[in-house]
A and B are shown apart, each in its own frame.
Chain A
């Protein structure tokens, strides 16, 4: 492993000589290899290397940030000068209380899998083909579009308080879309997989899921507008919770009163069935790290405990403003981190506590309702209201999965929706940075198209 930590520390010294109060430097070097399948055929392979450096400079609390691609000292010095001049041009901010102190990075298992490092382009192509084949095993599937990506990254961070750390990451991710046709009917099923570990069985599961739901969706119906119990698949639950809890508990939004969770600490925001932890130490989860984007050591913290909001997510700035400790939720973007990413508050991995129902039991326990598999909508965090399209959803009829639903929407007040969670599944999966089981909400407004 090249010692980027030394380079980061050296750039801190260079920047400090330019008359700053505080600064941190991030050096990242990542390589991402991917293979894409179009209509079941191998289409493109990519090999993208992306080394670079960022400097964050503070002057009287004002923050300047500058990035450069590559690692040549001429570009880095220019970036440092720009960061310093930006910081000095900004408005002073007395709420800035300093960067995290020197600490020894904690050991977190499952950040880096050497098996992924050893993969060659042929191997990644083979995995993409395997994914497409898994998604094509039904006669109704006429087209599969899929991709597999393997990333390897190294990150070093140093700051003016003496912190210097280095960590290595790997990532293994894939998506598949299986397009099914029968006569004039057309539907597509999608699925994705995310891990830091080489796990070929994940390829098969993702392909099978895409195929399964693509095929099931061919039979479709329309729903009347009304209130229904809704079973959220882990894919939709993860997508919604990432924003609703991960974004809603962002301390900066709380301090600026831009979130529905402002003023709710210690209060009930949902049913007792809802417990959510932010955990950057989960082995092989893509949001795990040993230290965060500012050098705060990784630690687990409960955000929601049996429906009660227990913590917000802090970085060093917002923690200083509230006179609390940073929760270590400063992100430099994505599973591999990027020097381009200005630090911002983000959940690491959200972990939803499991219950005791299987997905099948949840559905069979629902006489008439909706199974929402995919939505790409975000809640309005300021109002706590959520309305969006059910991109992939199915009617539940007499406790069984029925036809797919087209052109229907879901609408809910998040606090109301969380209070109506009555069943939580016992089997979790990772989806969009959230490890969650299926979740049932007893009553949600559905805008139908019939």
Chain B
């Protein structure tokens, strides 16, 4: 594959590309879905193909093929150059990509039990055991879902700087959802576990208890009430702080959005964007996390990136293009979902650093507010500067103590206000659940995290 990759890149250069790169992938994966104790689907996937980019004078052409022969890949190079030229003819913003450092490396992700070596019956057994544990917990658990995914990808990245990187990427993920019902009320709980690595992850105690965790949450929510709408001081748990790190600030720190004029952080580099206690990082190099990688999909070595330090905006996440245009070193933040998507800037493990409060002190110090626990999903529009996320459950805080349990709370805020409203960070930092982040139609594995954090004036959406 290496020869094919280098030939394709050279061919694109000969045809007029100022820069070219290619990702050739061969991948296989398994997915199992169990519903109510029965297999819903058992899926296997075999993928192979390549995606090639050609850059000319500020414009890109991207073309793909599934046929990994020399002639087919040459045709793909020609197509990429041709459409790059079509784009260049109408481009107003011109820039160059200066020669960068060639990286020659091979990385094999740590993996004791490659998923492809594990019989499907064992994977099924993991799912069935978790699925049974949900219904076994309480008769009010009426319906269950368990999902298991694994993926093995061999990827070659080559570019016209001379980079040639071989990566053997492996990851596994398990997820459970439980639906509990009582007196006409239906509630859902969920839990997941996932990381780069092999099936050994699914053998850990934590992994075989996700079913019970999901069912317990659904049962707890049966006793909850819809949250009241309004403005509240909120203490966010580790998961929700992680989602805030990702949604409220992480996306706005992606340099492609800044260059597109679609981030409220444009022009704020070096300026204060939050209270002094706040620091925000993106670090793909944390091993054994779902967001891990050490070399990105453009062949750039990844590193821990301080986005905000002590309340000051320090930097953005970059790929080769944005670093060239903003005249700063690339941060190794480019990834693509698969060979048939171009690499774009993505977060990896994004988190807010710990403070020095104790969680209990934060609680006791809050006269009236909400404790927000767990995260379902969130999204942001960096151009409007607004974000929204949905939590699993919330509790009333009254006089420093927990009261009524609430459900269906959505939290929203403004990027440029929220970190100014932080009033205390606890010392209990953790990286939390694995998840997928969507951007431009592509999905990327990520992890978020942080400590418990108190934020004033959060807008809570609710039904009452």
Residues of A in contact with B (beta carbons under 8 Å apart) = 33, 35, 38-52, 62-70, 75, 78-79, 82-83, 85-87, 89-91, 93, 120-122, 125-126, 129, 142-143, 145, 177, 179, 186-188, 225, 256-258, 260, 340, 342, 376-377, 380, 382-383, 385, 387-389, 391-392, 406-413, 445-449
Contacts and interface: CB of A to CB of B under 8 A. Distances in A.
- In the A-B complex, the 9 residue pairs with the smallest Cβ-Cβ separation, listed nearest first, are A409-B461, A143-B261, A447-B229, A389-B388, A90-B39, A86-B42, A188-B383, A41-B93, A44-B60
A389 B261 CA distance: 23
A63 B39 contact: yes
B422 to A, nearest CB: 17
A380 B188 contact: yes
B196 interface: no
B382 to A, nearest CB: 9
Interface residues of B, number: 86
B87 A45 contact: yes
Contacts of A376: 379, 388
B408 A65 contact: no
A258 B142 CA distance: 9
Interface string B39-53: 111111111110100
Interface of B: 35-49, 51, 58-67, 79-80, 82-84, 86-93, 120-121, 124, 128, 142-143, 179, 181, 185-188, 226-227, 229-231, 259-262, 264, 340-342, 379, 381, 383-388, 390, 407-410, 412-414, 459-464
A321 to B, nearest CB: 12
22 contacts: A38-B260, A40-B92, A41-B92, A43-B60, A45-B83, A47-B61, A48-B64, A62-B42, A63-B40, A65-B42, A69-B66, A129-B90, A177-B262, A380-B188, A383-B187, A387-B461, A389-B410, A406-B384, A446-B229, A447-B230, A447-B462, A449-B459
Contact of B38 (A93, A342, A385, A407): A93
Nearest to A344: B41
B61 A408 contact: no
A125 B61 CA distance: 11
Given A122-B86, A411-B462, A257 B38 contact: no
A413 to B, nearest CB: 6
Contact of A388 (B37, B43, B388): B388
B46 A447 contact: no
Contacts of B460: 409, 447
A51 B47 CA distance: 11
Contacts of A389: 386-388, 410, 412, 461
Contacts of B120: 85-86, 89
Nearest to B80: A47
Task: Decide if the interface of chain A is mainly helix, strand, loop or mixed.
Answer: strand
A408 B459 contact: yes
A89 B42 contact: yes
Given A41-B93, A387-B409, 12 more contacts: A39-B93, A43-B93, A66-B45, A68-B46, A69-B48, A75-B46, A120-B86, A382-B179, A388-B388, A389-B412, A389-B461, A411-B464
Nearest to B49: A69
A389 B380 CA distance: 10
Contact of A121 (B37, B41, B86, B262): B86
A409 B410 contact: yes
B142 to A, nearest CB: 6
A142 B61 CA distance: 25
A42 B43 contact: no
Given A42-B59, A389-B461, A407-B459, A70 B67 contact: yes
Contacts of A392: 384
Contact of B342 (A40, A46, A85, A385): A46
A115 B442 CA distance: 28
B388 A125 contact: no
Nearest to A450: B231
Given A65-B42, A66-B43, A383-B186, A257 B179 contact: yes
Nearest to A126: B90
A179 B44 contact: no
